[in-house]
Amino acid sequence: MTTLPQALTAPLAITLGDPCGIGPEIVLKSLQCDPSWMNLVVCVGDLGVLERTAAALRWQKGFRAVNSVRAALDLRREQPHVLPVVQVGDCLPNMPLGQVDARAGAAAQRWVEWAANAALRGEVAGLVTAPLHKAALAAAGCPYPGHTELLQANAAAFLELDPSQLPVRMMLANNELRTVLTSIHVSLRQAIDAITVDSVLETLRITHAHGLRCHPGERWRIAVAGLNPHAGEGGLFGQEETLAIAPAIEVALSEGMDVHGPISPDTVFMRARSVGARPGEFDVVVAMYHDQGLIPVKYLGVADGVNVTLGLPFIRTSPDHGTAFDIAGKYQADPSSFLTALKSAFALAVSSKPAPRPAVQHE
């Protein structure tokens, strides 16, 4: 069992994700793999959901419902082998696993928002979120397609900002490769239209700031993927590199960032990949759209991947897979990615600078 340093000033908050998916399963399996984590986390969700999952997994530890992080800390001191569960909302019925359910989407949204507000108040050191199901969120009336946009909107509302004043980006990372996405959950047509000087430059600034936060005093070597084949081949295959990406890189260089590109998207990930003792040429690749950046990371292995939201005023990580409705209830899910996300959040919480909080601007 790993010995974890008691370096956190506040616990990490774990949210259960969609209760009809594998979220509760991978949460408990991760804690079974290393019970030491139970002293460093508080679970945000539903006691009944966890108890049903625990029965199937033959979970040997106990649960206790609490109503605040403070109560969770008190419980942890008294009973360190009992997992505190912040019960948010009424207890859920035993909903069928592996199916889209609006009640599940609504509950998952409540849990994420509660944990995010706790982080914004400084009560928890960060969030580790199990997967949401986008169709269940939509069925519940949630206007956001996933965690990234939901957390951005929630944090902006808490800080009394417009969401545009709190730009965020998704970073997928494993031991070999990091990628940051310029656009996230939009159609490919919308993603192409979203490639502007401002959007690329904003992505570079957010990526650079995160690198400094993780490694103070060290600049990440940032590679920028082109949008078109061969990065446009001088305009033969598209103008986005010339009109948007290259000008953004010029501004980033003038601001002191270590940026390279635009580089042909069919080679940039290979050049950035670290393999064994051979480091990659770059520390991170800024990709132009969702699948361009996520396919290479996931191809290298989902089990070791973690999703980190950049730009939020708190730490948030998650596994790089979804709710896996096809195996929900079969208890075959691999918790490796969630455990990696937990370790990543812990490392960020104990070693990085606090995220800057945007100034609240009142009209």
Q: What is the largest CA-CA distance in the chain?
A: 68
What is the predicted pLDDT for the residue at 200? 97
Task: State which amino acid sits at residue 289.
Answer: Y
Nearby residues of 217 by Cβ (< 8 Å), 6 or more positions away: none
pLDDT in tens, 129-179: 999 999 999 999 999 988 999 999 999 999 999 998 999 999 999 989 999
Whether the pLDDT of residue 128 is over 70: the answer is: yes
Q: How confident is the model over 63-113, as pLDDT tens digits?
A: 999 999 999 999 888 888 889 999 998 888 888 999 999 999 999 999 999
Whole-number average pLDDT of the chain? 90
Q: At 363, is the pLDDT very low, low, confident or very high (cuts 50, 70, 90)?
A: very low
pLDDT of 57 over the 90 cut: yes
Q: What is the pLDDT of residue 290?
A: 94
**What percent of the chain clears pLDDT 90, i.e. is strictly above it?**
74
The answer to whether the beta carbons of residues 279 and 177 sit under 8 Å apart is no
**Beta strand ranges found along the chain (DSSP E):** 12-15, 41-45, 62-66, 82-87, 126-129, 169-173, 178-181, 221-225, 258-263, 284-287, 306-310, 315-319
Domains of the chain: 1-168+304-363 (3.40.718.10), 175-300 (3.40.718.10)
pLDDT digits (tens, 9 = 90+) for 247-298: 999 999 999 999 999 999 999 999 999 988 889 999 999 999 999 999 999 8
Per DSSP, the three-state class of 167 is coil
Q: What is the pLDDT of residues 27-52, one digit of tens each?
A: 999 999 888 888 899 999 999 999 99
pLDDT, average across residues 346-354? 78
Reported as half-sphere exposure (CB side, CA atoms, 13 A), residue 236 has a value of 5
Residues 6 or more apart in contact with residue 211 via CB below 8 angstroms? 218, 219, 220, 222, 283, 284
Res. 355: pLDDT tops 70:
no
Percent of the chain having pLDDT more than 70?
Answer: 94
Mean pLDDT of 331-341: 94
Residues in contact with 263: Cβ distance below 8 Å, sequence separation at least 6, in sequence order: 223, 224, 225, 226, 231, 271
pTM score, two decimals? Answer: 0.88
- Indicate if the pLDDT at residue 358 is higher than 60: no
SS3 246: helix
